[in-house]
Amino acid sequence: MNTTKSEKFASLFQNVEHAFEIPSYQRAYSWGETEITQFLTDLTDSTGSYYLGHYLFERKDESTLFVIDGQQRLTTCIIFFSSLVAELERRAAKGEAVKWDLMQIRDTYMKAPHNSRQRLQTVDNDNNFFVDEIVERTDCHTQEIDTKSKERIRKARLQFDKAFSAPERSSDELVKWGTLVAEASTTHLIVNNKVEAAQIFAFQNDRGKRLSDLELLKSYFMLQLLLSNAHSIQINSDIQYVEREFSKIYTKMVQVKSSEDNVLTYYWRAISGKGYDSPKVVAGVKEHLKKIDSPNKVGWIKDFVSGLAQAFAFVYSFERNPYQYAEDLRNLNNMALAYPILLKAYRARPSDRDIECLLRFLENITFRSLLRGDGLIFNPD
């Protein structure tokens, strides 16, 4: 395993032969207005030094590093530089003196100058949008905003654009901000295989946002796989299996209206055997795993994650189901009651007739519960 290295943020991009890629089994872009505002506040309040955190990379090949931890900050910095350069170019075009090599900044953070290779590639589903919106800043591009992460990328860009174009911001101040980020202190670690990456990810919880229950559970599962006493080849295979399932989860997660932890809760209530009296997911899963013999724990984890991926796919599908009873149930706006029952029922592969009866039943009891206010209606948030 390589040792942790401390350097300036710009030094991460110093080797023009290297590029960064966020693998599909990692979370898509999730920073919102609160995080961007704090980022800008930190720059404004800085007295001359800035820290941009720790990054964990897994070596994909000789020229590409997977971003395992730190992808939110890394992506935000690329959006930051895209907006900053665009604003300074606008000012320079109006005749204002700009004391910064803007082309070099583009070459450093957007595309390598010798081969036009994208320096940071987001998760596959978002990357074309990211190229047009951030890297190329194409006017009136045709990429659709069909995921929450794309919407967040757009909003982050607009928030930076607005902050940089404010009339009270001088070009010198903007250059100062850019220099502050480029010269910010960072640490990073590069590992050479998934087992090392999963081990560090499992113990490292330093994120830009509080870890969701889904992320906590993912980290816990990775740790259990590493402690399984299996051969390293088998551990690596098990980790890859879980990563592929989380790739499916993250793909659907940015497309559903329900929050990730709500879907996780619905699924846990569906399979725990205790229904609505189930303990909270992370604590409940940990307690359940303690009761499973060691040889069977890995299989249970893989089944759980696979089923969770199917649950996200089901919620995605149900939110778009045009069937009248499904629409009526959604309009009652209390899917927290219905989803655990639906998820449990669909695991039994019901017939179309059974589905219709179940939807009518759920619509009926949900409506009655809303009228009575009998405690069955709750929000798991």
pLDDT digits (tens, 9 = 90+) for 265-323: 999 999 998 877 888 999 999 999 999 998 899 999 999 999 999 999 999 999 999 88
One-letter amino acid at 308 equals L
pLDDT of 143 above 60: yes
Higher pLDDT, 195 or 86: 86
pLDDT of residue 106: 94
Where residue 228 falls among pLDDT bands split at 50, 70, 90? confident
Where residue 227 falls among pLDDT bands split at 50, 70, 90? confident
Domain range annotation of the chain: 5-191, 211-372
pLDDT of residue 240: 93
| Percent share of the chain, pLDDT over 90 | 65
pLDDT of 134 above 80: yes
Residues 6+ apart with CB under 8 A from 219: 201, 202, 205, 211
333 alpha-carbon distance from chain centroid: 26
Per DSSP, the three-state class of 225 is: helix
pLDDT of residue 4: 67
In Å, what is the CA distance from 76 to each residue of 128, 129, 153? 17, 15, 9
Nearest one of 239, 217, 218 to 228, comparing CA atoms? 239
Where residue 207 falls among pLDDT bands split at 50, 70, 90? very low
Where residue 158 falls among pLDDT bands split at 50, 70, 90? very high
Average pLDDT over residues 76-95: 96
pLDDT of 206 above 50: no
Q: Report helix angle 324-331 to 352-372, nearest 10.
A: 20
Burial 18-35 (b: 16+ CB within 10 A, else e): bbbbbbbbbbbbbbeeeb
Q: Which two tokens stand for residue 224?
A: 């259990």
Average pLDDT over residues 59-64: 90
pLDDT of 335 above 50: yes
Residues 6+ apart with CB under 8 A from 328: 363
pLDDT of residue 230: 82
pLDDT of 205 above 90: no
Dihedral class, residue 95 (left if φ above 0, else alpha if ψ from -120 to 50, else beta):
left
Beginning with the edge strand found earlier in the chain, give each strand of the sheet holding 185-191 in spatial order.
5-8, 185-191, 51-61, 64-69, 19-21, 120-121
Average pLDDT, the chain: 89
CA–CA distance, 210 with 216 (Å, rounded to integer):
10
CA–CA distance, 10 with 184 (Å, rounded to integer):
8
CA–CA distance, 334 with 380 (Å, rounded to integer):
11
Higher pLDDT, 48 or 329: 329
Average pLDDT over residues 330-355: 88
CA–CA distance, 88 with 96 (Å, rounded to integer):
9
pLDDT of residue 193: 84
Model pTM? 0.82
pLDDT of 376 above 70: no
pLDDT of residue 373: 65
Per DSSP, the three-state class of 146 is: coil
Residue 247 exposed, middle or buried by CB count within 10 Å (0-12, 13-18, 19+):
middle
CA–CA distance, 328 with 315 (Å, rounded to integer):
16
Residues 6+ apart with CB under 8 A from 275: 269, 340
One-letter amino acid at 205 equals N
The DSSP string of 32-88 is -HHHHHHHHHHHHH-SS--EEEEEEEEEEETTEEEEEE-HHHHHHHHHHHHHHHHHH
H or E stretch at 20: strand 19-21
Higher pLDDT, 201 or 90: 90
Per DSSP, the three-state class of 190 is: strand
Q: For residue range 93-127, what is the model confidence (pLDDT) as tens digits?
A: 999 989 899 999 999 999 988 788 999 999 999 99
